[in-house]
Amino acid sequence: MNQKMKIIFGVIVLSIALGWKLYQEWDQHQIPQSDGFIARMEEGLFTEKFTPVKTRGAGLELLEGCRLITGRNSDGDSFHVKHEKGENQFRLYFVDTPESEYKEYGGGENNGDRLDEQGKYFNGMGRDDVAKVGKDAKTFVLNLLKEERFKVLTKWEDVVRPGREYCFVILNWEGREIYLHELLVAQGLVRVHTWGADLPEGRGWRQQREYLEKWEKEVARAGIGAWGFASEDDTKTNQEGRASERKGK
């Protein structure tokens, strides 16, 4: 290889290395940094409560070897995923993470009412604190999914309109496979809210919702996640109020 070719080859290698470094920095910046003040679930806590994972039944299709595509329409309960059949935007069954920031849209619309609704659920939290929890949930989930491949179970049910489908996500946690929506309840980073589905070879969707709501009460009493912002009395009053509302429907 002559001197000219060595120089050209060196420039190409250097350009590739620089491009990869810039991509990694950009990719990492798609995941916000946690403020670090929200209480996490202690290791080993609630271990016995996680539902044994099954992957067959209930009309769900299993997608293996899934990979998070960061920076593309991803937050704590929704993510853009590359899988064996292509790419899809998925949203978790059963749970809703708070908005991670106040946003204004065209036509004078904004997400203020949604932040207020989520704050009311978590015992009257203000918008700023709701957004902090939402940001923390987004950071927690995206970092988890970015670490390794995971599994998705889906019926390909649309969320409001085509292009975004409901799912269960299965990942490794403390040496075992668990459902992500249950982990987020245990971490106090979500409200039990939105569409549900039967678990494969497990609880029906009503039983699973009730199971999550009971679990959530334990999390609230422990002051984990968003529930750490409120007193125990406020938490009890809020949960009793929601139970009364459900009975009235």
- Quick one: which of 211, 226, 197, 198 has its CA closest to 50? 211
**Average pLDDT over every residue of 119-131:** 93
The pLDDT, as a whole number, for residue 30 is 52
Residue 9 pLDDT:
56
Tokens of 53: 């994972």
How far is 168 from 15, CA to CA, in rounded Å?
40
Q: Is residue 179 within 8 Å of residue 170, measured between CB atoms?
A: yes
Cβ-based neighbours of 106, under 8 Å, separated by 6 or more: none
Instruction: Retrieve residue 66's tokens.
Output: 């899934």
pLDDT (tens digit, 9 = 90+) per residue, 24-40?
A: 433 444 555 555 667 78
Separation of alpha carbons 234 and 244, rounded Å: 15
DSSP strand pairing (95-96 vs 78-83) = unpaired
- Name the one residue in this structure whose structure tokens are 């106040």: 102
Q: What are phi and psi of 175, to 5 degrees?
A: 85, 10
> pLDDT tens for residues 30-87?
555 555 667 788 888 899 999 999 999 999 999 999 999 976 667 889 999 999 999 9
- The arithmetic mean of pLDDT across residues 105-119, rounded, is 91
Contact 62, 56 (CB under 8 A): yes
What percent of the chain stands above pLDDT 90? 62
Structure tokens at 71: 């920076």
Helices H, strands E: what count in the chain?
6, 9
Across residues 139-159, what is the average pLDDT?
94
Cα distance between residue 205 and residue 94, in whole Å: 9
Q: pLDDT, tens digit, for every residue of 177-209?
A: 999 999 999 999 999 998 999 999 989 999 999
CA 61/CA 1 separation, integer angstroms:
54
DSSP 112-152: HHHHHHHHHHTTS--HHHHHHHHHHHHHHHHHHHHHS-EEE
Which domains, ranges and CATH numbers included, belong to the chain?
A: 56-248 (2.40.50.90)
| pLDDT confidence of residue 40 | 80
Q: Is the pLDDT of residue 88 over 60?
A: yes
- Specify the length of the chain in residues: 249
- Quick: pLDDT tens for 97-109: 999 888 888 888 9
Across 158-180, average pLDDT? 93
> 153 near 64, Cβ under 8 Å?
no
Q: Report the distance separating Cα 32 and Cα 132, nearest Å.
A: 11
Longest dimension (CA), the chain: 84
Residue 105's pLDDT is: 85
